[in-house]
């Protein structure tokens, strides 16, 4: 079984590597998100152990990039961040398990073995709202039988709103999921992208899928408008 560890704590990553090798795993290690993503793209792994906060690229972004590319290798997030929101974001972003530091090595090994036994899940179901559909694996968006071309950022905004269809999502929530929590630009950038989406998935079809909730944010209609 081949495992990839991506963690910027060099001593911790090395300790994990030695321990997992002793347990019979083949282990590769990267110390930042960019290198970790490269290794994950270049090699086939049975599971990936991924830290959240790393230089170059966060664990969330590494996970999201792999899922967007259709790579469903089981991912275990190993991090000192223990907030509920961190865990929710990880699972919604495609992670399969979440372990906080400090941790029991024996329990970690058991959870890795459990992930490996389950294997890579099938690609996620197509997201739908009425006749509006979005396939996260193929990156295809359609209104009925008509395919709609979106930019990567437009796609990400629409996917986030679809995953929370019927719920109001604030600009800050959209930014935190589509850009990142450290985004320092104008939050009205969300308004710009919602406008782009309306021009592509709504107006040409006489629909009104994305509703502006004054003072609160945006809500995507579950019936697709």
Q: Is domain 127-220 given the CATH code 1.10.10.10 in the classification?
A: yes
**What CA–CA distance (Å, rounded) separates 12 from 79?**
11
Residue closest to 55 by CA, chosen among 22, 32, 29 = 32
**What CA–CA distance (Å, rounded) separates 23 from 210?**
51
Please give the C-alpha separations between residue 163 and each of 40, 107, 125, 168, in angstroms, as whole numbers: 26, 32, 11, 11
Q: Output phi, psi for 217, to 5 deg.
A: 145, -135
Domain ranges of the chain: 2-118, 127-220
pLDDT for res 49 = 94
Burial environment of residue 7 by CB neighbours within 10 A (0 to 12, 13 to 18, 19 or more): buried
pLDDT digit string, tens, across residues 169-212: 998 888 877 775 566 677 788 999 999 999 999 999 999 999 99
pLDDT for res 219 = 94
pLDDT digit string, tens, across residues 4-15: 999 988 999 999
pLDDT for res 147 = 95
pLDDT digit string, tens, across residues 87-98: 777 777 788 888
At the topology level, CATH places domain 2-118 in: Rossmann fold (3.40.50)
pLDDT for res 146 = 94
Query: Taking all residues of the chain, what is their mean pLDDT, rounded to a whole number?
Result: 86
pLDDT for res 102 = 83
């Amino acid at each position: 079984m081949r495992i990839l560890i991506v963690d910027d704590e060099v001593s911790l990553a090395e300790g994990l590597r030695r321990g997992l090798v002793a347990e019979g795993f083949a282990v590769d290690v990267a110390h930042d998100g960019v290198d970790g993503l490269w290794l994950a793209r270049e090699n086939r792994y049975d599971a990936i152990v991924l830290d959240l906060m790393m230089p170059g690229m966060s664990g969330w972004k590494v996970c999201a990039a792999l899922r967007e590319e259709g790579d469903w290798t089981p991912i275990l997030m190993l991090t000192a961040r223990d907030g509920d929101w961190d865990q929710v974001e990880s699972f919604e972003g495609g992670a399969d398990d979440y372990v906080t530091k400090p941790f029991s090595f024996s329990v970690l090994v058991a959870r890795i073995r459990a992930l490996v036994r389950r294997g890579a899940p099938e690609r996620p179901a197509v997201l739908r709202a009425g006749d509006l559909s979005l396939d996260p694996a193929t990156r295809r968006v359609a209104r009925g039988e008509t395919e709609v071309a979106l930019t990567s950022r437009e796609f990400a905004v629409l996917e986030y709103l679809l995953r929370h269809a019927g719920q109001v999502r604030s600009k800050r929530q959209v930014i935190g999921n589509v850009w990142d929590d450290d985004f320092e630009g104008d939050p009205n950038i969300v308004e710009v992208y919602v406008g782009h989406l309306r021009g592509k998935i709504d107006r040409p079809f006489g629909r009104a899928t994305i509703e502006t909730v004054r003072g609160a944010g945006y809500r995507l209609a579950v019936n697709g408008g």
